[in-house]
Chain A
Amino acid sequence: MTKCLSRPPRLLGVALTCALTAGLAACNEDTFDVESQIGPNPVLPAPQQYLFPPMKLASVVGWKEGEKPSVPQGLKVEALATGLEHPRSLYVLPNGDILVVESESPGIEPIRRPKNLVMNFIESMVTGGGGSKKSNRITLLRDANGDGKPDTHTIFLDHLNSPFGVALVGSDLYVANTDAIMRYTYNTGDTTITGPGTQLTPLPGGPIDHHWTKSLVASPDGKLLYVGVGSNSNITENGMQAEKNRAAIWEVERATGRWRTFADGLRNPNGLSFEPQSGALWAVVNERDELGPNLVPDYMTSVKDGGFYGWPYSYYGQHVDPRVQPPLPDLVAKAIAPDYALSSHVAPLGLAFYTAEALPAQYKGGAFVGEHGSWDRQRFNGYKVVFVPFRD
């Protein structure tokens, strides 16, 4: 309690919170062991709802000259390119060229209640480089001589609609815009694509488009594409009708564009990747907010055909979310608990299984997860790349 009251910026909210809610979880955030929420069986505290949820905004500072992220022994980190416009995801082409997807939120979420006005203001403070006209494009980087400094830096594809996922099958390059999968013709060595794309399958974009990033991966045989379609809200506050076909992974037939829901109940699935040993589809998923600083842990999981993973009705199997009305207990009973928790509010956006030889041997076969980090707790969590070893 005293700890809470010593935080001046949120004095009123937190003091009221402590006075009015039974538990003092917000005040105990400092003592909660974040490590206990990493792994297959995370500790899940009781849900807490706050009058003013705990948050801490990260001010955007940028890297100083020569400043770098720290890395474990045996690894080295260098900036490959700078001056990018809000880079959100990467794709490596077979010839080693690197595609950087620079993308921005479609920004079409309507103001539906006063809270949206406040949230928009808060988010504008924590988003770097917002409002750039030059984003929504893909930049190509080529480092032909392998010195870690790209000698080609071109605009590969421009004027896209909030793109995120990229997948190449043969000479067909697929880009997942927020509202459609587009197909372009790519020939090995191309540094720019000028031909117009054709639409393979429309995806749920507007209206609202709360979680707008559409992750994309092709099946190993190249016949199917898998697309992550995030929910249209935190927890159904835009109405259930806005969630049609969302919070799901779609399976799209590449030849025809016909699609079906492969799995659902996945609030915001990203980083779709096939695990090289088992051949299973994996995803990192951003779980729901505003149940406390240590709920709900984001996770990575293998995704089963027809599987239901809880959202919105429950989390981690059968933990029912009180905010969803009407509840569906029959569906909750079927909810699959995910494989591996990554800790709460770390916001994983990227997932890559490491199969190459360049890094030290212990990384081979494991997964790297890029964590965006978020502001809905008082101590930062995420804002890093983590490694999850895999065995058998």
Chain B
Amino acid sequence: MDVEHPRSTASILGHPVHPLLVPFPIVCFIGTLLTDLAYWGTADIMWSNFSSWLLSAGVIVGWFAGIAGLIDFAGDRRVRAQRPAWPHAIGNVVALILATINVFVHTHDAWTSVVPWGLTLSVAVVLILLVTGWLGGSLVYRHGVGVKS
């Protein structure tokens, strides 16, 4: 059966780049939430150091993933026409901006690098990703974005 699927513009040999990159920041941001919680509970500085590394790595790769996603979004009108596309894009840009601000909050020394604003931002980012991740899955598995036609 021949169906025309929305096309992924940022792709290598027919492989869309965006889904290759997104697991990395998602795992980093979930990890940041866990290590922030550990620091909140223990005040052991090691956990806040883990948070800083996870956050920084997640934000750097996250922006690359975001750029790949935006290229797909801009590259094919049929991608934008899918219902989850707009909330997925906007939500992830918001999450990335919050995570980037959180990198700076985590540069504070000791307790206030996490409590209360670092932890708050980590929670907010993960909550947004739960929704946008679900929508991203829908875009591929239900709407066939980037799936070979």
Which residues does A use to contact B, with CB under 8 Å? 13, 16, 20, 49, 51-52, 112-115, 118, 233-239, 290, 322-326
Contact = CB atoms under 8 A, between A and B. Distances in A.
A323 B110 contact: yes
Interface in B62-103: 101, 103
Given A51-B105, A323-B110, A237 B52 contact: no
Contacts of B52: 113-115
Contact of B109 (A13, A51, A233, A326): A233
Contacts of B104: 13, 16, 51-52
Contacts of A112: 49
Interface of B: 43-46, 48-49, 52-53, 56, 101, 103-113, 115
Among B53, B101, B106, B110, chain A packs the most CB atoms within 10 A around the CB of B110
A235 B49 CA distance: 15
A322 B56 contact: no
Given A13-B104, A16-B101, A113-B52, A235 B46 contact: no
B45 A239 contact: yes
Contacts, number: 56
B43 A322 contact: no
A299 B106 CA distance: 29
Nearest to B57: A114
B45 A238 contact: yes
Nearest to B56: A114
A323 B108 CA distance: 9
A235 B105 CA distance: 16
Given A49-B112, A115-B52, A325-B111, 8 more contacts: A20-B101, A112-B49, A114-B53, A236-B109, A237-B113, A322-B112, A324-B111, A326-B43
A112 B107 CA distance: 12
Contacts of B111: 322-325
Contacts of B105: 51
A49 B104 CA distance: 11
28 contacts: A16-B104, A51-B101, A112-B49, A113-B48, A113-B49, A113-B52, A113-B53, A113-B106, A114-B52, A114-B53, A115-B52, A115-B107, A237-B109, A237-B110, A238-B45, A239-B44, A239-B46, A290-B108, A290-B109, A322-B111, A322-B112, A323-B109, A323-B110, A324-B111, A325-B110, A325-B111, A325-B115, A326-B43
A275 to B, nearest CB: 34
Contacts of B113: 237
B67 to A, nearest CB: 19
Nearest to A51: B104
Contacts of B45: 236-239
A233 B56 CA distance: 22
B39 to A, nearest CB: 9
Most buried by B among A20, A51, A113, A290: A113
B53 to A, nearest CB: 6
A18 B56 CA distance: 23
B110 A49 contact: no
Contacts of B115: 325
